[in-house]
Structure formats: C-alpha cells, structure tokens
Structure 1
Amino acid sequence: MRTLTELKFNNTYSELPSVFGTQINPQPLADPFLVSINPGICDLLELDVSEASTDFFVDLFTGNDELPGFCPIAMKYTGHQFGQYNPDLGDGRGLLMGEVLTSQGNKWDVHLKGSGTTPYSRQGDGRAVLRSSIREYLASAAMHGLGIRTTHALAILSSATPVYREQVERGSTLIRIAESHLRFGHFEYLFYTSQHAELKLLADYLIKHHFPDLLKQEENVPNRYAALFHRIISLTAEMIADWQSVGFAHGVMNTDNMSVLGLTFDYGPYGFLDDYNPGFICNHSDYSGRYAFNQQPSIALWNLSALGYAFSPLIDKALIDEALNTYQPQLQQYYSQKMRSKLGLAEKLEQDSALYSEMFSLLASQAVDYTLFFRTLSTIPKDALTDSTPQFEELFTCTAALSQWLQHYAERLELESADDQTRLKQMQAANPKYILRNYLAQQAIELADKGDFSMVDQLLLVLGSPYSEHPEYENYAALPPQWGKELEVSCSS
C-alpha cells in the first residue's frame, strides 16, 4: 500500500487537445473534515487507508493543498436531457483530478465532485452538499456489493462552507473513482459541433485505453469503430438487465449520465423498489414518467441511438442500425439469466415465461416488497414450498393467489436436476437481503447533519456484502415504514 505522495499517475485525458476540457484548480472549502472512507476503494488504488486520517488527505481533496501528480481538468460534453439536446453541459461542479496507475497496470480516474465553479457551471455554484454526497457514496457501494458495474466513491469530506439550496447546507466533496468518466455526451459534443477529427481521436482514445483488443482490427478501420459501438451496446444491455433484476431505478437517464463502459453513473434521484410497481418513478422532477422503472430498457436504446447518430461520421448507417438491432436480444438474454438465477432455475424452458408473468402480476397486484419476496423465497426448501405461505404473510394482504403460484413454482422445480441445497445457495447468492432503501439513506443523512456519521459507515459495511447475514444490523433488512416509501427525491438530491 502507498501513501498519497507515492501514487503513480498516467494522466492521459489531459494530454488530449484543449477542446476536451479546461484545466482549472478546485476552490477551497473552509474548515474541512473527513466524513467517511471506503477501505475497499483504497485497495483498488493501492492506497493506505490510514492516509485518510491525515490533514494532507483532507486538505488535498477540499482544494486546500496540491499533489504534483494531479492535473485537474473539467471535462466538456453535451447530451440529451429528458429527450432534448442541451449544448451547454460539462463538469459544472466536478474535476478529473488525475489518473492513478496501479502496480497491475490498472488506471483509475480520481474525480472530485463539488470542487467549485468551472466554465461549465451554468450559473451554478459548483458545489455539492453533504446530503447528495452521502447518497452517491452509499449507492455506488451498494451497486458494487450487488455485483453491478459502477463508478466508486473513495470518501466524503465536508466543511463549514455554506451552500444554499432549499436551505443552507454544508459544502462537501465526493471523491469518485472510475475506470473512465467518458459519457455518451462526450461524443455528442464533438458530433454536434462538427469536430469530426476530434471525434475520431476520442474513439481511438477509448479503444486504446479500454478496448485494446479492438486494435487488432486496424486493417479495416470502419469495422473497428462499429465493433466499438457493438461493445458499448453489449455493456449497456448488461447494465440495464442488472438494474431491472435488482429493482434499481436510476431516475435521470440523460445521455450525459450514460457511461460508454456500461458503468452505473451519476447517482442523483435514484431509488430501489420497495413495493413492486413496474411504473415506479423515483425522480420527483420526472413529471412525464420518462425515466420510470419499466421505461429504462427502452430509454437505454433511445440513448444508444443518440450515440449511434454521434458515431455516424465514423460508421456507416447500415452498420449502426445493425448494431442497434442487437440490443434487445442481448438485454433479454442477460435479464433472463439474472431472473433464472433469482428463482434457482438452471434450465430454460418455454413454460417459464408464464411462471414469470404470473409472479410479476402477483407482486404488482398486492404491492409486494420486491427484495424481501425473493429473499424469503430463497430460504424455503422445495418440499416445503406449498406450505410456506405463513412465511410470506408480512408481505401479502391475501395469500390465496400466492399459494397457487407457489404450487406452480414447486412443479417447475421438479424439472430441475440440481439438488435443493445447491438451488437455495444459488438463490441466496442472487437475491440480496440488504438494499439501499431511500429511508435508510435519509436517516443516515439526518444523523450526519448532526455530526454523527456512524450510520453511514454501518450502511457501507452492510451494503458491501448484501447477500450475507449481518445479525447486528438486521433492522436494515426490515420492511420499510410507510413514510419511508413516500419520500420525494428530485434532481437536486
């Protein structure tokens, strides 16, 4: 493990032409302090976790000190927001501080969120608040714990600097770690400003640093870019399948919030399903329901089509359409695999679609807690299924329809060859006990506002291994209170 001054940097993005961003230093926060550090992300960077307890760490990531290896840059991009193209986007409150190179040759972006104004702040103050920083910090840990590709968060720092939202809040920073911060919007920016040479340069950059296997197609350059687009489509399809399988709603799937590496990115008004509601809208600002839970698969395709349009100077339209036509089959394949694992089904049979349809109708009709239904199901032996309705009584208002479905499920399991113990083990590895419910995040935020960060750290621990038992934190796996289901979360969150 290394100290901060021993980190090695390979700042490749800052070597690109100036049209890709603006070099600018973070603006200091007053009287800064550490809120929480994620030891697992320290390991990714090969950084000694004890560094977080030093004044240098706190000062460095709140704009009060400098590290020679850093080369802060605000990235320029554009994107479609709620379906409308917006040319005035970019890192308005964040900076790519540098790219850390590990001993294994892995490269990690170190990004500071809440670092002050940049040329892309659009009359904003460039600041983040403790509330939103905690939400992203815990969400990225939760998604990583669930095995879903995501950006990471190394630490939260806060300060005495006042930030004005609906009320006065503490200015804070989140240290975000990612393989790359390249978005669909980076390519849209270069396309819509007719910077086609730079568009090709960025595509080449992406291939070189993240898809080097595609360099083997140098002899046929157009196909190389088509192969890149195919790869982005595949990664996006897998990400969306992951979201749908665990009941995660992103809330603001603008193209500037879409990662070209299929990473869950820019956590704002997100939410995990409590009661199963296919039309769940987690973003209070989403008046039309554009980004509702059940719309996410189609919105991802819409966003990929926008990216394909941006790639049109590099790829023939026929190849773009051909690639886009692969999205739906891949999504269905990934999602089918995920859902079969959740039900412990190794075989894929035609009759399974009816079983799933009956199950989802049942969950929706009685607003059953999505996570606890599957977790409860993953603890019941096959021979006990038809008599297991009492175990679900807390989740269902009426168990008659459930009893019928359990009978159908038990009959389906008779067609499986795996032993019951193997099935249950597989199901428990696919159905988390702990998710980041909005009310838990809100409780952690309220305590943190009073200077108590213990719940942030407790949730960090539990969400890091959500499939495991944590007896001391059993209350975090309980049904949410009614008020917890009614919390409103908006883009400002």
Structure 2
Amino acid sequence: MPALPQDAIYRPSSRIMALADWIGDTVKAADFPETRLRWRNDRAAREVGLADLSDADWLRHFGRFAPLPDNMPGPLALRYHGHQFRVYNPDLGDGRGFTFAQMLDADGRLMDLGTKGSGQTPWSRAGDGRLTLKGAVREILATEMLEALGVNTSRTFSVIETGESLFRGDEPSPTRSAVLVRLSHGHIRIGTFQRLGALQLEDEMAQLVAYCLANFPGADFPDAPHPAVRFFNQMVERMADMAASYMVAGFVHGVLNSDNMNVSGESFDYGPWRWLPKWEPGFTAAYFDHAGLYAYGRQPEAIHWNCGQLAVALRTLVEAAPLIEALNRYPELYQQAMTRRWLWRLGLEPRGLEEDTALIGVCEKVMVEQGIGPDAFFFAHRGGREAFVDAALNEALAPYSATDSSHAYWSDEGPQSMLIDEVEAIWQPIAEKDDWSALHAKVAAIRRMGEAMGKKPLPMGHAVA
C-alpha cells in the first residue's frame, strides 16, 4: 500500500474494533460504475490530517473504500433498533452506510468516517443501499448551514458521483447517484443501546457504556452511583443542548427517531430537513409526518422522549431512580442552553436566566407579529440594532451589552438563509447543466456568515479527551 500523504495530525485510532464482534457486521462497499469527485471538504479534512490526499487517493479511499493506513480493516455496518415515529422497530441497522475509519482530531477527540449510499448491507431490507446526488447536495447545504449557526453537527466530508440511475417515488426519476462520507464524533445511537437492552445483552451494554464514557467525555458526575448513570447524565446534557441549538437555528430536522440520535450529542442524518420561513411552531419538514410529531416546536419534547428510551435500555444495568433523576434535569438544561445560544446569535452578553428567558419571549412575539423567521430577525437585531419599531423589544434589549458585530457580513443587505426555494435553485443548474458554481458560492457565503457569528457556544458539559 502506498504511503498516505498526511500532515502531522493523522492519528488512526480504530477503537470501535474492540466492539466489532457484536456492534456491527463486516460488509463491502458497492462496486460503482464510476467515481467522479464532486465535493471534498478540505477544511474538515485538515482537522484529521487528510487534506493532503491527492484527488486520485481521495477517490480510492472514499469512492472505492480502500482502507486508510493503520485503520479499520474494512467497513462495519452497525446494528441497532429504534422507535420510528414512536413505534418500536427491531429490524433496523445501517442499511445504506457503514463506519470505515476512526482517527483523532487536533483536540484528541475520536472521529468517525461513515457513509451514506455505499451499497446494500444485511440491514438494507428492501432498499437499494444507494443515495441520490440531490440528497448528497442537500446534506452539504444542511451541514454547512448548521455548522455556521453553531450547531454541533456532522460534516459532509466527501461526495462522489457514482454513475448509476436511481428510481425514487418522491422525486423525478431516474436520477443521479452518489456516495457520501460524513465526519462525525461517533455513530453510537440511542437505538444501539435499545438493541442491547431488547436482547438483554448486559455485558455488551456495559462495554458500550464504558466506550462512550471514554470517547465522548463530558462532566464528571463523581457522585453518580454507576457508570451508566454518569453516561446518562452526560448524554441528557448533550441532548438538551442539541435541542436548543435546533430551535435557535430555526431548523427542523424532520425525523427525530431514536435511531437518528447520536449519543455524542452531535446532530446527523439529514433527510427531509427545512429551515423556518417564518416563526411557526407547527411547521413540519417531512411530508409523511402527518401528525406533526416532529414539528419545529415539538422537537425539544421529541428529543426528551428519546432520552427516556435510552433510560429504559440502561435499566439492563442499573435501577430506575438515578436515571429518572437525570432525565428530569432535561427541561432546566434545555432552558439554560436556549438562553445561552439565543444571546449568542443575537450578539449580546447574557444577563441571567430569568431576564434572558423573558427576552426570548419578547423576540418570539415580535417574529409572530412581524411574520418573519429567525434568519431575518437575528440579522436585523444583531448587537441590539433596532431594525423593527417595537417598544417592548427595544426596552428588553436596552440593558444588554453587545458582543463584536464588526464583521462586514452584518452590513450586507440581508442574511444568509437556507429556505427550500433556494435549495431547489442551487440544485437546478447541477441537474440541468452540471453547473456546480451556485453550490460553491453558497457554501462560501455560509462560511463567511459563520466567521461573522464568532466563536461558537460550547455544548453543555463539553470536554475534550
């Protein structure tokens, strides 16, 4: 195998292989008709020492999935169960993806490279294991926008067009195909624990708790009576913060099933997502979410409910009382995260939980009355600017001190946004003329916005290895 071009921080660390006998199945990637590089995220690649790869090696590792040096010997399709729209499904697992590499980033965090659209696995059921190119483009846009808005999210690491024609019932067919690689801080889901609990695999559950404590560090909780309780407290903190980050970003994930919940607190797996066109708690992203279970305003409750399902699974190891106590921390943790993140996006220094919560209420009222969404509101009021005539809001903002809003972005005519019409406008030239310029221009504009937003708020309980 040729030596891997690398910088000083490529540090392979395939720790998941210690769990490989029971956490997943060894699989092979599909043999695609072609591999055409469409997207390489060199910013993310620099964090794990892979930015120096030539395009040819990039295609070999992320299109043909030749193992990275000293890394996992081959792909692993993970096993899990999950609640899908509150209905338990034991017939799940990585049906069109796998984990194929792990390494440490510059901060010593364990990072995974996982796929979407890489072929069939034992868990594919009736699916073809593929991903549409449009779906990959949408994931680029979602992850870039979320990262800029401070959400702890997976990053779209690579998109390679694969030369197959796919047929889908919910979009024009045939359509182009792709394989996507995401860079994530782990792929352990609530559903991973649910499977072990359902099968009463106590030893494996204890191993997985230890793996998560070692690799997704958080607050210590030295008084917790059991490792599972320490882990669950950390996880509740992370999930409360993730829920708040969605709300402040104006983001609707669309499918908050327990198998889509990464216990690292990192948002991932973007399907029918949307951003709010206006402040509307009942707004849904998935056309099939007829009851609005995962509507924008119901996301915090949905994530809390999923935390409860993890608590049920952890009963394999520990009694209920300390788990319930940890779960009951969620509402207060969520409100603390909301105020911290809301003030960050407004560009104001926090003053205190009660006062900051009241300010959020005033802001929401203005958005409803003005019929506008979070993007326009936060942009106009960054640093306490008075773009809308509203006496109550001006009064609420008056005591606050502004953070730095000197970036040229704040003098633009309007904010960056990611509404569905713009997504379609970016996709159209790709579909019709293979013109990717609009996508690249949008990503550059989003990253500029991210620079203007300043230092991101740390997730609650944040720590590094």
Q: TM-score, normalised by structure 2?
A: 0.86
Decide whether the 8 Å contact of 1:2 with 1:48 is kept in 2: no
Distance change (3 Å), C-alpha of 1:364 and 1:78:
same
5+ residue gaps, structure 1, are 390-402, 471-493
Structure 2 partner of 1:258: 261
Structure 1 partner of 2:460: none
Structure 1 partner of 2:62: 61
* CA RMSD, Structure 1 to Structure 2 (Å): 2.9
Which of 356, 372, 391 in structure 2 is aligned with 1:407?
A: 391
Distance change (3 Å), C-alpha of 1:454 and 1:366:
same
Structure 2 partner of 1:192: 198
Q: Aligned equivalents of 1:222 and 1:349: distance in 2?
A: 30
One-letter identity of the residue aligned with 1:12: R
Decide whether the 8 Å contact of 2:116 with 2:179 is kept in 1: yes
Distance change (3 Å), C-alpha of 1:323 and 1:213:
closer
**Are 1:304 and 2:304 an aligned pair?**
no
SS where residue 165 of structure 1 aligns? coil
**Are 1:316 and 2:319 an aligned pair?**
yes
Structure 2 partner of 1:348: 352
One-letter identity of the residue aligned with 1:239: M
Tell me the alpha carbon deviations over residues 66-118 of structure 1, each in whole angstroms, 9 at most, x when there is no partner.
Answer: 55534211000110000000001111000111212457644321112111000
Q: Aligned equivalents of 1:14 and 1:84: distance in 2?
A: 31
Q: Aligned equivalents of 2:308 and 2:65: distance in 1?
A: 43
Q: CA deviation at 1:407?
A: 1.7
SS where residue 206 of structure 1 aligns? helix
Q: CA deviation at 1:46?
A: 1.3
Q: Aligned equivalents of 1:358 and 1:411: distance in 2?
A: 10
Select between 75-84 and 141-150 the one with higher mean Cα deviation. 141-150
SS where residue 182 of structure 1 aligns? coil
Q: Aligned equivalents of 1:103 and 1:147: distance in 2?
A: 19
SS where residue 77 of structure 2 aligns? strand
**Are 1:12 and 2:18 an aligned pair?**
no
Structure 1 partner of 2:80: 77
Matches within 5 A, 1:375-454: 375-378=379-382, 381=385, 385=386, 388-389=387-388, 403=389, 406-416=390-400, 418=401, 422=403, 433-449=415-431, 450-454=433-437
One-letter identity of the residue aligned with 2:268: F
Q: CA deviation at 1:193?
A: 1.2
One-letter identity of the residue aligned with 2:437: S
Q: Aligned equivalents of 1:458 and 1:466: distance in 2?
A: 13
SS where residue 318 of structure 1 aligns? helix
Distance change (3 Å), C-alpha of 1:57 and 1:354:
closer
Q: CA deviation at 1:356?
A: 3.9
SS where residue 449 of structure 2 aligns? coil
Select between 352-361 and 13-22 the one with higher mean Cα deviation. 352-361
Tell me the alpha carbon deviations over residues 187-241 of structure 1, each in whole angstroms, 9 at most, x when there is no partner.
Answer: 0010011112111111111112222875x96xx8843221110000001101111
Structure 2 partner of 1:337: 340
Matches within 5 A, 1:79-94: 79-94=82-97
One-letter identity of the residue aligned with 2:61: L
**Are 1:462 and 2:445 an aligned pair?**
yes
Q: TM-score, normalised by structure 1?
A: 0.82
Q: CA deviation at 1:290?
A: 0.1
One-letter identity of the residue aligned with 1:465: R
Residue identity (%): 27
Matches within 5 A, 1:108-119: 108-119=111-122
One-letter identity of the residue aligned with 2:444: L
SS where residue 290 of structure 2 aligns? coil
Q: Aligned equivalents of 1:50 and 1:11: distance in 2?
A: 20
Decide whether the 8 Å contact of 1:433 with 1:467 is kept in 2: no
Tell me the alpha carbon deviations over residues 308-346 of structure 1, each in whole angstroms, 9 at most, x when there is no partner.
Answer: 000112222110110011000010111122223445363
**Are 1:3 and 2:1 an aligned pair?**
no
Select between 79-88 and 190-199 the one with higher mean Cα deviation. 190-199
Q: Aligned equivalents of 1:183 and 1:289: distance in 2?
A: 23
Distance change (3 Å), C-alpha of 1:64 and 1:309:
closer
Q: Aligned equivalents of 2:4 and 2:179: distance in 1?
A: 22
Structure 2 partner of 1:169: 175
Higher share in helix: 1
5+ residue gaps, structure 2, are 454-465
Q: CA deviation at 1:357?
A: 3.3
Distance change (3 Å), C-alpha of 1:155 and 1:17:
closer
Decide whether the 8 Å contact of 1:63 with 1:115 is kept in 2: no
Q: CA deviation at 1:379?
A: 6.6
Distance change (3 Å), C-alpha of 1:204 and 1:358:
closer
One-letter identity of the residue aligned with 1:447: P
One-letter identity of the residue aligned with 1:434: Q
Distance change (3 Å), C-alpha of 1:32 and 1:379:
same
Q: Aligned equivalents of 2:333 and 2:59: distance in 1?
A: 44
Tell me the alpha carbon deviations over residues 417-471 of structure 1, each in whole angstroms, 9 at most, x when there is no partner.
Answer: x4x6x57569x89x9932332222222222222311222222222222325579x
SS where residue 94 of structure 1 aligns? coil
Bigger Rg, structure 1 or 2: 1
One-letter identity of the residue aligned with 2:184: A
Q: CA deviation at 1:367?
A: 2.3
